[in-house]
Chains A and B, each alone.
Chain A
Amino acid sequence: MKVTEHMSFMSQEAASSLKEILYEQHQQSTGAFYEVFWYHWPSDGVFPWEDYEPIVFVYNIKHDLCFVFIRRGWRPIILDPDEVFQPVQIMFKLGNHHQFVRKVDDDADFDLRNLSTQVSIHVGEPRIRKITDSRESIPVLNISGPFRADNIYNRIEKAKRISCE
């Protein structure tokens, strides 16, 4: 499956400290699949842990985009495909790199006036490092959250089962 190319915007500081973008793809026998881009920073703002921010694209059995999934402040957030601006643009805000997805009619929200002050990154094959087992690369904290009650893969799988299969 092709990697979903997208644009990311972030501050100069965030761009210079971004270590890498890990990428994983999970395919189901139904044909539905999803891909996770893990943006990796050495720290999460002033908080003393490594930061892995997930951007997830979930595709249905026809390989149409079913939803975009992000996690902001440890809370899963789902965006309907018809709300999402194409090609996809992501902005990481503040020191904690909170993700915001540009929507189709969201000029003010995405802060387009200040885009020129942001560093833009085109994310595609050359920019990512593919991984097959996230447990080897992503700390448990970043997969399950600080309270270990909300494994990100379980949340994605559940939402996918309900809406995409």
Chain B
Amino acid sequence: MENKILVEYGPREADIFADLIENKKIPSKNEAFRRGLFALDYLMSVDLSSLFKMLADSLEESAKSVKDMRTLSQRLAVSRILAHQVVATSASQKGILVADQVDIFRAAIDEFFALIQTDSFKSTDKEKLSFRLSTLSEFANQFYKKELKYSTDRLPAIPNK
């Protein structure tokens, strides 16, 4: 390796580093930095508005499946992937603190998984669950519209002929 930099980081990154190394998810801090940078390069070009739209649609599909735990679990798994992707893409493009705001989708979906994986699911009011997922879907739709407007506003003006 020819290039070296001094990196400053805080308790959050220190905790993430420790988890990655201790659990052997990554061989070294240096490798974490290299992979992070490589991933960042790709994530910078992801269309965030489309991600929110997919998340909204996926959550709505999940809302329709609350009576069947197996189908709900499968659909929520897709929502969960998208929710993680939304946080990672937001962090890459807008910064960690902005990404923290949209972590609410990941958090809510993880709560649903916690419910599914305990015995409590059977006794939970399914209509309320469905309403909750639909609300989350609508929330994701609001982010979609906001991001769409943001990306449209940033498009270069077409010069008049």
Contacts and interface: CB of A to CB of B under 8 A. Distances in A.
Prevailing SS type, chain A contact patch: mixed
A80 B11 contact: yes
Contact of B97 (A72, A75, A109): A109
B74 interface: no
Interface stretch (B37-45, B47-55, B105-113): B105-113
Contacts of A83: 97
A82 B10 CA distance: 10
A96 B111 CA distance: 8
Interface in B101-146: 101, 103-104, 106-111, 114-115, 117-118, 120, 123-125, 128-129, 132
Q: Per DSSP, are chain B's interface residues mostly helix, strand or loop, or mixed?
A: helix
Contacts, number: 96
Contact of B107 (A72, A78, A103, A147): A72
A61 interface: no
B128 A46 contact: yes
Contacts of B98: 109
A109 B120 contact: no
A100 B102 CA distance: 11
Nearest to A104: B97
Interface stretch (B12-20, B25-33, B151-159): B12-20
B111 A49 contact: no
B15 A96 contact: no
Q: Which 6 A-B pairs have the closest CB atoms?
A: A73-B107, A80-B10, A163-B11, A146-B114, A73-B110, A67-B11
29 contacts: A44-B111, A45-B132, A46-B125, A47-B115, A58-B11, A66-B11, A67-B10, A67-B11, A67-B12, A73-B106, A73-B108, A74-B110, A77-B12, A77-B103, A79-B12, A83-B97, A96-B108, A98-B108, A100-B104, A105-B97, A108-B101, A109-B97, A146-B114, A147-B114, A147-B117, A155-B15, A158-B15, A162-B11, A163-B10
